[in-house]
Structure 1
Amino acid sequence: MLVEPRSGRLASWGNSLLGHLVSPDEAVVAIVGDDAVHRVEGLPGEAGPVGLTLALGRLRVLGVTGWRLALPVPGHPLGLSGPPDFNARALEAQEAVVGYGAPYGLVPEISEAGHPGDPADVHTEVVWHCLPVREAPPADVPSLGEAERELAEALRAATEALTRLDVAASGPVAEAALDAYRARAERGREALAPGYPPRAVRVLELAQRVALLVSVALDGGGTRLGGAVSASQIGARGEALRPVERVARRAQVAAYNAFVEERERGAS
């Protein structure tokens, strides 16, 4: 998962906004990114969709003091706390943000408009569905320290697995993907919004790199990366790398949630 989840951007910049570290305009521009428009539907007190600036302000008034990220997949409700309706919608989107301090969460619904034959004419619109959430600890989210240790072990495990399966983890496809990752970092992309601890930035960048290596190793059915080409070998590759992908997702969530976790520690 090299592409930053939209829910990660909202959690990160939403937290920075709540911490008075960026202006509402700065936060919304960063959250929207290259998309055309973001709206929020189901906001308490509103009959229809509203803009992101109004929505974030209203949720703050309603008591939200922080945002957590959820990256659930089937069989792993990572970052969710219920109820079932919210979990089901988040699982379908495979991402969500969960409010801290007030029982509200946001799940993105992404659509594209324009001429599909002309990429320059296609623009992305996002509707965030505001839904009630259960105020409870999120599922299966490690601390930053745990995430960092798990990532180091996962990187070793991935290297050993790819070597054992004779997968070329450093071929042209992998190098091109890593070059794109480095170029994006060199363009000054902020891994996290202002206010996050340096350790969270370090954990997120390592988690994204591990996730990238896993996605490259699993891409293309084997022929592009060399080595495993039979169905059984491809299956073995997936079995070996699935735990590594899980660790990378857990670490990404831990990094995005560090802002709230530090606030919780300071309040205790």
Structure 2
Amino acid sequence: MAGLPGESGPVGLTLALGRLRALGAKGLRVALPIAGHPLGLSGPPEFNAHALDAGEAVIATGAALGLVPEVSAAGPEGDQHVEVVWRCQGVREAPPADVPSLSEAERELAEALREATEVLSRLNVAGSGPAAEAALEAYRARAERGREVLAPGYPPRAIRVLELAQRVGALVDIAYTAGGDGREHGGAVSASEIAARAEALRPVERTSRRAQVAAYNAYVEERERGGA
């Protein structure tokens, strides 16, 4: 981790977490922002911009600090490895943007799953083409391998919400990838059909990301409500 107050250079994760605790951090929250939807962020604009570029961030509540991953490849060609450095910056202590409660997320997801299925049928994404079938099988395999989607201690509802959010997200991914005819964007054959599909799926994808953030942050929320 780089840029941590009180440290002159990058430090390892164990030391970084201890330092954050000493600086007053009470918990870590996930943010999954995209352009036009700063999900889980609270500012300032400079931090939000870096988080949007990365597509993710972690907020240390109680310490007014945020962490954004910087990913780079290192090593000679043919023997490269990926390095991730979490860069620490100051953030605004304010409620995170657009994060629902678990109960809200669960209700929204049930509707989003119905909408996603309807959209795929209406826009001719049958889900029976080779690429769609392969994507669905890959999702099922990942689900079976990772039945424990959250660490011990999370409320059961958070696990249900995250599993359903991942299922909705997988349906959206399938709709955007190659369909049975080998083309991208599912079964869309014209620019207008591709645009219609994107417009119809955008709110579904948004609901999925909101629910994932709610699930990941449920442990911190529960601890804060309990006064821990």
User: Is the contact made by 2:131 and 2:180 (CA closer than 8 Å) also made in structure 1?
Assistant: no
Aligned length: 226
Of 74, 89, 96, the residue aligned with 1:113 is 74
Q: Secondary structure at the match of 1:81?
A: coil
> Structure 1 residue 256: deviation in Å?
0.5
Instruction: Report the aligned-residue RMSD.
Output: 1.9
Show the counterpart of 1:265: 225
Q: Secondary structure at the match of 2:70?
A: strand
Show the counterpart of 1:154: 112
TM-score (norm 2): 0.92
Separation (CA, whole Å) in 1 of partners of 2:76 and 2:172 = 33
Show the counterpart of 1:95: 56
What amino acid sits opposite 1:151 in the alignment? L
Show the counterpart of 1:53: 14
Of 79, 86, 107, the residue aligned with 2:47 is 86
Matched, 1:253 2:213: yes
The one-character-per-residue Cα deviations of 1:146-166 (angstroms, maximum 9, x if unpaired) are 111111101111111111111
Show the counterpart of 2:165: 207
In structure 1, list runs of 5 or more residues that go unmatched.
1-39
What amino acid sits opposite 1:64 in the alignment? A
Show the counterpart of 1:33: none
The one-character-per-residue Cα deviations of 1:128-162 (angstroms, maximum 9, x if unpaired) are 00111111110000001111111110111111111
What amino acid sits opposite 1:212 in the alignment? A
Show the counterpart of 1:143: 101
What amino acid sits opposite 1:110 in the alignment? V
Show the counterpart of 2:33: 72
Separation (CA, whole Å) in 2 of partners of 1:183 and 1:143 = 29
Of 171, 174, 194, the residue aligned with 1:216 is 174
Show the counterpart of 1:228: 188
Of 124, 143, 150, the residue aligned with 1:185 is 143
User: Is the contact made by 1:69 and 1:96 (CA closer than 8 Å) also made in structure 2?
Assistant: yes
User: Is the contact made by 2:33 and 2:51 (CA closer than 8 Å) also made in structure 1?
Assistant: yes
Separation (CA, whole Å) in 1 of partners of 2:215 and 2:75 = 35
The one-character-per-residue Cα deviations of 1:77-131 (angstroms, maximum 9, x if unpaired) are 1000111111111111111001112211100011122456x4xx33210010011
What amino acid sits opposite 1:237 in the alignment? R
TM-score (norm 1): 0.79
Runs (4+) off by over 4 Å? none
> Structure 1 residue 220: deviation in Å?
3.4
Mark the CA change 1:189 to 1:122 in structure 2 (over 3 Å): closer, same or farther. Answer: farther
User: Is the contact made by 1:161 and 1:240 (CA closer than 8 Å) also made in structure 2?
Assistant: yes
